[in-house]
Structure 1
Amino acid sequence: MTRADILEGRGKNPTEARRKPLQARALKRHEQILDITAELLEKVGVDDLTTILIARSLSISVGSLYHYFPNKVAILYALSQRWLDEITLALDDIDATLVDNENLQAFTEHCTDRLLMVYRRQRGILHLVQAMFSIPELRELDEAHDKFMINRFAKMFTRLGFELDRRELQRIARVYLELIHAISIEIIGEKGMRASRTTDDLKFMAYSLLSRYHTS
């Protein structure tokens, strides 16, 4: 194993973060590592991101960084998990405000706005999504969360008045999820009026998709 392999933590469980710290100071450092990783992702991308660069940006040694995470993949895994947790909280908010048989357009607009908020808040989101697609361990995490979201959306659709079987609801939910994700990523890369118009297009497409299967 080369020195570069050691510095990047190759050969270890790539997603095995150290035990999450309980003390306030250590917990703050844990979050700082994730925050600076997101900033660096935005600047240099996945391929040029290294634990050496992360440690240097935090003014700590690589050894100190390894007290929290054994390698770059583990850091990206934790960052991905944190972002997916934010999406889960957004789903909780959407679910909590959902009224049975709610107006479909009101639902799609609220759902789109709330999820877009999570995409916009995450620094380096374009590169993070790339990492979640290209790194197998992160892809497994993303796929598991997709299944979770699909089931949540399917249950929401039932509350909205969809009279379809479970498999069909889940199929529509997957299309709905993929639509929101793909266009949200596009919106993040846009600015001003262009972003606003694409957001309106996303809401229209989301509404059109669901209204096709809505029975009321």
Structure 2
Amino acid sequence: MTTKNPLQRRRAPQQKRSQKRINEILDATARLLAEVGLDDLTTVLIAQELGISVGSVYHYFPNKFAILYTVGERWLEDMTCVLEAVETWDMQELGIDGFVDQYCDEMLRVYHQQISVLPLVQAMFAVPELHELDERHDEIIISGLIGVFKRLGLKASNDELDRVGRLMLEMSHALLLVIVNQNKTRSVRTLEDLKTMLCEYLSKQPA
């Protein structure tokens, strides 16, 4: 007997209009997550924000955690697209400095693109139903970075490259969350500091 996943979307969109409604629900949920917080976020509130019935929300999602899960999945899909693009970059030509520069710029774009990214990340960490997303986020980034490190010529075991990837992930993730909430002057300087730290760290790895 199979157990139904409580976070599974009720149905996949069959028409553009349905996909448009789903995107509206996801965007409204992300906005409200920042405005009212996780505890006060409800499907009723989401429906009110969009001017639709709560039944319309339940038509696509069984509960608020299923909506948040899909918001997180959409964000991870954007990150995956960046990593797929990275696979096409010429690492011999870029070197460590060029890779770090482009990688940080692309990831910052993804962080900026996600509505209320900090509350979403906090929910992914704090809510048991969303832990799998937090773990998948780390796995996606680290596995992608290990491939990059090898193409950059770093000489270490997979276990050591995993450790280096974890450190790069934690450093960049933390500072990108800071950068998206800073004013332009401070964000530019913090981004440059992040790039400097990553370049210095990676350049010290055995190659």
For structure 1, the 5+ residue unaligned runs are 1-11
Deviations 1:85-133 (A, max 9, x none): 1011111122222334632111111111100110011111111011001
Tell which deviates more after alignment, 115-124 or 19-28: 19-28
1:86 aligns with 78
> For the residues of structure 2 that align with 1:192 and 1:101, how far apart are their CA atoms?
30
1:153 aligns with 145
1:211 aligns with 203
Matches within 5 A, 1:1-216: 13-100=5-92, 102-215=94-207
Share of identical aligned residues, percent?
Answer: 46
Aligned partner of residue 183 in structure 1, secondary structure: helix
RMSD of the TM alignment (CA)?
Answer: 1.5
* Structure 1 length-normalised TM: 0.90
Please list every run of at least 4 consecutive aligned residues from structure 1 whose deviation after the TM superposition is greater than 6 angstroms. none
Checking the alignment, whether the CA contact within 8 Å between 2:91 and 2:99 is kept in structure 1 is no
Checking the alignment, whether the CA contact within 8 Å between 1:94 and 1:114 is kept in structure 2 is no
> For the residues of structure 1 that align with 2:36 and 2:206, how far apart are their CA atoms?
45
Checking the alignment, whether the CA contact within 8 Å between 2:61 and 2:67 is kept in structure 1 is yes
Deviations 1:10-29 (A, max 9, x none): xx854121122121111111
For structure 2, the 5+ residue unaligned runs are none
* Counterpart amino acid of residue 61 in structure 2: F
Checking the alignment, whether the CA contact within 8 Å between 2:143 and 2:162 is kept in structure 1 is yes
CA-CA distance at 1:201 after TM superposition? 0.8
> For the residues of structure 2 that align with 1:44 and 1:22, how far apart are their CA atoms?
32
- The total of aligned residue pairs comes to 204
CA-CA distance at 1:213 after TM superposition? 0.2
* Structure 2 length-normalised TM: 0.93
